[in-house]
Every structure is written in C-alpha cells, then in structure tokens.
Structure 1
Amino acid sequence: MNKQNYNLLLADDDEDDCAFFKEALDELALPVSLVTVNDGVQLMDYLETNFSGNLPDILFLDLNMPRKNGHECLAEIKDKEELKNLPIIIFSTSLDTDIVDLMYEKGATYYIRKPGEFSKLKKVIGNALAITSENNFKQPIRAKFILQP
C-alpha cells in the first residue's frame, strides 16, 4: 500500500461482524482507521456529509441491511458524480452467482464472502486492502472479482 493511512468505512448491521472486522484490522496492524455505520440510510447520510474531500478510501458494504440494503446503496453511490469512483468491496454472507454478477455489473470493486473463521477474515481483509491499492482502486476482470481468504 502506498498511502500513509487508509480510511475505511464498514456498512454492516451485524454488531458481531463489525466487532470481528475491527479486531481483524487491529491484529493486522495496518495503517487504517475505521468508521462503521449500521444501515444503508446511515451510510448514505455519512457519505453525503463527507462529500467534500473526506470520503473513505474504501467502503466495505454488506448487502442485507435494514432501512436501505446494499443493492440500493451501491446503485445510489454509482449514480452520484461525487461518489461514483468510491471503491466498494461487497462484504456479504451470500455467494449467490446471480448476486455476485449483479454487483459486478453495478460497479462494485470486489466481492468478499464473509468467512466464518477469524484467521480467514484477517487474511481476506489484508488481501483486499493490498490488492485494491495495487489495482489503483479499479474493478478487475470478472474472474478476479471474488476475493478468497
């Protein structure tokens, strides 16, 4: 990674998943800061409040959230000029091929199926940050869209 500190945003309504994500980042000892929001409405409010130069470097987006789901948020983000280049990594329990294909078509940067084991979570988060940075935050070819631990 070629930046001093990465600002990450995690949008996930599951408190345990958020805690594991934060713990994994802490153990990886990477130069990152993390903000979490618990639903899609909070996510969009946060992004609109931070339009002027304080956007996260990467958004980790859960698909199944209350009030506004990840599908809706992704579509809204990609429709807004100020947000459309924000790297978005889908972070979901589902690995349904149709959903993965749809997220790719809608412009998500990568897709991660939430691993059940903490060691795999650490590995996939570390890989996601490294590979996203190496690819200059651009979407890869479809065959490399899903990140594995």
Structure 2
Amino acid sequence: MENNEYVIFYADDDKDDLDFFRDVTDSLTGNIQLHTHNSVDSLLGSLQSPPPIPQVIFLDLNMPGKNGFDALQELKNNLQLKDIPVVIFSTSSDEHSVNKSLDMGASFYVTKSTTFATLKKSIEYTLGINWKTFEPSSRNFIYKNEK
C-alpha cells in the first residue's frame, strides 16, 4: 500500500463478513478508511454522492435483489465510476463466476477466507496492486494464496 490514506468500499449483505473484513483492515498498517455497504443500492447511492471516492471496491457476488454482477455492470457502464478497480470478493470460486467477472470488467478476484491470517494476506496483496498499470487476464485475475 503506497498511499498514506486508502479508501475502500465493500458491499456484502452478510453482516458477519462485513465485520470480519473490518477487523482485518483495522489490523493493517496505514490509514485505511473502510466504508461498508449491505446492499448494491447502498453502494451505488454512496458512489453517486461523494466524497469520498474509493481507490478500490470489494464486491460480493451473492446478494439478494441486485447482486454483485448487477453492481459490476452498473459500475462499468458509468463514465464517472468505470475506472475504479472492482475486486470480486466472494465465496463462489467456480469457473463460471470467475470468467464472467473477468469478462464484465472486474479488476481482480479473491475467494473469501475464513481465517484472519489468510484474509489479511489476501487484502494486503490486493491493496498492494498498482491499479494504474495492472491489466487483468486469465493468468493474473485470481488471488493465489501461497502458504
């Protein structure tokens, strides 16, 4: 993480997942400003009335109503929001979900972890990506947890 302040938006309908993500980001070094949203509508509403503008959006796929794919499509179709990196952060790691996310313009894909250390490592890795130069492809799109 290069910036002194890093603004993250995270949308997930599961309160436990939101709390776990917050616990991990609170343990990271640097000044991380986390904004959590329990629905796609909440996320999109917040993005339409900044500040702040996130450096990265973490997005769960499986949410009731508008799901993560719906949100990704709306983000990528919006001229003001389309360049914000979107990291799919989901329990789903099936090939269809991964390929669809890449095809729709997501920047990166991370499978949710159930352990603090592994989740911390995946978030640190993701926040360390230089989004200005990173080009997602089938070779580098999925976070690989090296043990």
1:35 maps to 2:35: yes
Look up the match of 1:105: 103
List structure 1 runs of 4+ shifted beyond 3 angstroms.
none
Q: CA deviation at 1:66?
A: 2.0
Q: CA deviation at 1:41?
A: 1.0
Look up the match of 1:118: 116
Q: CA deviation at 1:137?
A: 6.3
Separation of aligned partners in 1, 2:39 and 2:83: 21
Separation of aligned partners in 1, 2:133 and 2:10: 16
Q: Counterparts of 1:1-40 in structure 2 under 5 Å?
A: 1-40=1-40
Look up the match of 1:47: 47
Residue 139 of structure 2 aligns to a residue whose secondary structure is: helix
- Give the residue type in structure 1 aligned to 2:18: C
Residue 73 of structure 1 aligns to a residue whose secondary structure is: helix
Q: Counterparts of 1:71-82 in structure 2 under 5 Å?
A: 71-82=69-80
Separation of aligned partners in 2, 1:139 and 1:70: 21
Separation of aligned partners in 1, 2:131 and 2:44: 26
5+ residue gaps, structure 2, are none
5+ residue gaps, structure 1, are none
Residue 41 of structure 1 aligns to a residue whose secondary structure is: helix
Q: CA deviation at 1:135?
A: 4.1
Q: CA deviation at 1:30?
A: 2.9
Higher relative helix content: 1
Deviations 1:24-55 (A, max 9, x none): 111122321100000111111111112xx632
RMSD: 1.4
Alpha carbons of structure 1 residues 85 and 76: separation in structure 2 relative to 1, 3 Å = same
Separation of aligned partners in 1, 2:34 and 2:57: 10
Contact 1:88 1:109 in 2 (8 A): yes
- Give the residue type in structure 2 aligned to 1:34: L
Contact 1:9 1:59 in 2 (8 A): yes
Separation of aligned partners in 1, 2:131 and 2:71: 23
Structure 2 counterpart of 1:146, from 139, 142, 146 = 142
Identical aligned residues as a percent? 38
Relative to the length of structure 1, the TM-score reads: 0.91
Relative to the length of structure 2, the TM-score reads: 0.92
Q: CA deviation at 1:67?
A: 2.3
Look up the match of 1:130: 128
Residue 54 of structure 1 aligns to a residue whose secondary structure is: coil
Contact 2:7 2:52 in 1 (8 A): no
Separation of aligned partners in 1, 2:38 and 2:135: 25
